[in-house]
Amino acid sequence: MDDPAFAPSFDLTTQTILLHASNHDLESLKPLLRTPGNASVQDPETGFTPLHAAIAACGPTPSSKDSISNINGEEGEGEEEEPVDIEKAKVVVKELFLSGAIWNDLDVNDETPGCLAWRLGRKELYELVVEAGVRAEVLLGLMGGYEELGSGSSTPEELDAEVEGETEDLNNGENGTHHPAEETDQEIPEPKRDVNSADFLQSELTFSEDKLLDSDANGVMMSWETSIMRRTVDLLLPTSPPSGARILNIGFGMGIIDRMFRSTIPLSHHIIEAHPAVLAKISSPDSDFGTEWEKSAPEGGKYVIHAGRWQDVIPKLLQEGEVFDVIYFDTFGESYSQLKYFFTEYVVGLLDPKGRFGFFNGLGADRRVCYDVYRRVVELDLCDAGMDVEWTEVGVKLEGKGEGEGEWEGVRRRYWTLEEYWLPVCGFMG
């Protein structure tokens, strides 16, 4: 049959590149990588890029093979495989990155090359992906904006547009590309809704004992974070008893960490909160942070709720000469660029020279490779801001493995999937 409509979808160049990548055949691969874009071609069926192919060809390490077999209910026995030359694989992966390979492209199984390397136990290849991710994020930062890593669901075309500053249009579906179905019976999917600060501040909130949700059922704060907050307070206020500190917390939410700060009997306790519903709950008669709390500040201190966005409140605190021993930052719906802006421009004027700064480290926490990339990006940016950071690993045990299970029942999107939390405590260098 010569009808082109029935011709198989087969790109010889793509398949050749993927074959050479999986064979770790650098000599044959390099000439093909001279063409821009060839380092990121994708197989239409598997979604594999050359990076995926090069990593997948290594197969699992013996230890990860056993764990994969146990998960799949297999015995893990069979013919002995030839040993993998991991050095050849590393050389190919490095060459692909030098030729423009995208570190967080997704295959049809929703795995980045880094996700694949981690699952197979190929830690050396995983590190190469993380290093490439850090380089890419730092470069994007220098160009004017960090790539959003939250869901890991951007397509290559979306990523290119993000670099050009079109992220908001793509996420909100306001670029005129969504049209009603006039001449088709096919259902048009609902446009992806972006989680951003402006929409959040106008949304209705749902308060319960274990979670705070916005009007789209996004988790603003959840009670499983309590153990993380407890450890955070202990590290930010290490003295015993830790009383008499000057504390600033940005983002009240459910008030988890502020209740812990309050129990230390600080000299001053400033809270910045922007959402009207949270502010109304704080000022309710049964609130722990109402008028009586404000009156209970020790002599020479101050307990106060600042209503408004931190971007508007912080300059006023600077003008008033307020200085703090502890600053904690935990906002919702803001990108990493806002956190970076805060510790780059404001912490130096607000934090005592011996004070400590912390933030909720949920950057890219729904995908391990993104979480590891951002942790290193934060280290570099804090260093540029004149600050050191110490990381403490905190275990996270959550019920339910999937969306809507365990603690995540009723939550639209699971924003945490990892078994460890890297807790940052920052201070000025020297």
Residue 37 DSSP class: T
For residue 99, give both structure tokens: 């030729």
Nearest to 122 by CA among 153, 87, 162: 87
Residues paired with 358 in a beta bridge? 328
Cis bond leading into 241, ω under 30°? yes
Q: What is the pLDDT along the chain (430 residues), one digit of tens a residue?
A: 455 554 455 689 999 999 999 999 999 999 999 999 999 999 999 999 999 999 999 999 987 665 544 434 444 454 456 778 999 999 999 999 999 999 999 999 999 999 999 999 999 999 999 999 999 999 988 877 555 544 343 333 333 333 333 333 222 223 333 333 333 344 444 444 566 778 888 889 999 999 999 999 999 999 999 999 999 999 999 876 677 999 999 999 999 999 999 999 999 999 999 999 999 999 998 899 999 999 999 999 999 999 999 999 999 999 999 999 999 999 998 999 999 999 999 999 999 999 999 999 999 998 999 999 999 999 999 999 999 999 999 999 887 766 777 889 899 888 999 999 999 999 999 8
DSSP 236-288: HS-SSS--S-EEEEE--TT-HHHHHHHHT--SEEEEEE--HHHHHHHTSTT-T
Every domain of the chain and the residues it spans: 4-70+84-161, 199-249+318-428
pLDDT of residue 4: 54
Give CA separation, 158 vs 149, 171, 180, 262, 392, in Å.
12, 9, 22, 44, 34
In the CATH scheme, what is the homologous superfamily, with its name and number, of domain 4-70+84-161? Ankyrin repeat-containing domain (1.25.40.20)
Is 370:364 a contact under the CB 8 Å cutoff? yes
Task: Give me the CATH code for the 199-249+318-428 domain, please.
Answer: 3.40.50.150
Q: How far apart are CA 379 and CA 388, in angstroms?
A: 8
**Measured distance CA(236)–CA(260) in Å, rounded:** 12
